[in-house]
Amino acid sequence: MSKRNYEIVHQGSRAVIVTGFACLMLVLLLSGNILLYIAPHLILYAWLAVIFLVAAAGFQSYLFIAAVKGSAVDCACDGDHGHDRAPQLYSVRRSVFVFVLFAIPLLLGTLLPNSALAGSLAQNKGMNLGALPTGRGAAGADLVEVDGNQDPALKQLFKTDVYNRDYAKLGMLLYGQDVIEMKDEWFIEKQQALNLFADSFKGKTIRITGFVYREEGLSDSQFIVGRMAMTHCIADISPYGFIVDSPDAAQYADDTWITVTGTIDQTDYHGQKVVKIVIGSAEPASPAKIPYVYPDWNFASKL
């Protein structure tokens, strides 16, 4: 291949890749499907990436056109195209290799449908039932009440160590509700609060929507209703859920979405004490388009 042809292929393939990524991200951002890949707080950064990509696509196209016209762009400092050397075979091969490598995610992202991952991935990740860390509370030292002017008896119920005061506040808020609704907001935080103060919540009514999931160690009359939590991107999602006790558990198929209403109780699971739900009623539910929940580091300030 002549040097000029190599230059055209090299610059052209780069222009295609950069433009491709710009388009892929733009389409995902505009359709909202980007939330199937990254968490909402990264969307701003994704737009930043689009700006960079569009600028790069423009510049790279200019380099490509210059290559086609045969005029070298001098100060691009493209240390790669060996100014005075005839291009050797391997640099062509290298260009092709890089092009193919970058084309794989582009093609996969464009051709395959965007889909949400639920139970199928939970199997690999291990369900998180909110069991308390081992060793916690053994010291039992320095339990404190939360500040504020709530009922002293209620404060007594939600006594905890200083680090869990935020959960105590959330717990007191939940305690006052007739039905504890496990919605998208604060799913993980509420699960933590319920497990921390499981004794106080015993017998309370709870309603939760999520996917059905099973793993080893559950009895025949049990299944798990869970949600997937994402911190940054799909690579770090992990499932959070509750064990549900139901006499006709077998009728709920894995990966289907249901809404369960029931009462809170406690159970032993793999040697850990966790909250469970004794089923009252259940109905099929449709999965949310973006089925993920997100940890909220700052929930306490919004209470």
Partner 1 sequence: MHNESAVRKPQRSYANGLALVCLAFIAILYVLSDYGPGAIIADPRLQIFKTVFVSIILETMPFLWIGVFLSAILHVYVPDRLIQRMIPRNPILGIIAASVLGIVFPLCECGIVPAIRRLINKGMPVYAASTFILVGPILNPLVFWSTFTAFRGRPEIAYGRMGLAFIVALIVGLIVYRFVRSNPLRVRENRDHEHDHSHENNKLAAVMGHAINEFFDMGKYIVFGAMIVGLLQTFVSQTDLASLGQASGSANALMMGLGFILSLCSTSDAFVAQSFVTSFSGGALIAFMVFGPMINLKGVLMMSAVFKTKFVALLVSLVVILVYAGTFVLDYVFLK
Distance separating alpha carbons of residues 164 and 189, to the nearest angstrom: 11
**Is there binding between residue 94 and partner 1 (CB under 8 A)?**
yes
Nearest-approach distance from CB 220 to partner 1, in angstroms: 21
Nearest-approach distance from CB 163 to partner 1, in angstroms: 5
Closest by CA to 196, choosing from 147, 163, 224, 230, is 163
10's CB contacts (< 8 A; 6+ apart) are 67, 80, 81, 95
Exactly one of 90, 178, 203, 302 binds partner 1 (CB under 8 A); which one?
A: 90
Exactly one of 1, 68, 101, 253 binds partner 1 (CB under 8 A); which one?
A: 101
**Is there binding between residue 144 and partner 1 (CB under 8 A)?**
no
Exactly one of 104, 138, 139, 141 binds partner 1 (CB under 8 A); which one?
A: 104
Q: 59-88: which residues touch partner 1 (CB under 8 A)?
A: 59-60, 63, 73-80, 82, 85, 88
**Is there binding between residue 150 and partner 1 (CB under 8 A)?**
no
Q: Which C-beta is closer to partner 1: that of 12 or that of 262?
A: 12
In contact, 118 and 109? CB cutoff 8 Å: no
Distance separating alpha carbons of residues 160 and 137, to the nearest angstrom: 9
**Is there binding between residue 32 and partner 1 (CB under 8 A)?**
no
In contact, 291 and 228? CB cutoff 8 Å: yes
In contact, 294 and 40? CB cutoff 8 Å: yes
Q: 242-271: which residues touch partner 1 (CB under 8 A)?
A: none
Q: Which C-beta is closer to partner 1: that of 287 or that of 295?
A: 295
Exactly one of 124, 251, 281, 286 binds partner 1 (CB under 8 A); which one?
A: 124
In contact, 209 and 218? CB cutoff 8 Å: no
**Is there binding between residue 238 and partner 1 (CB under 8 A)?**
yes
| Continuous segment of H or E residues that includes residue 281 | strand 272-284
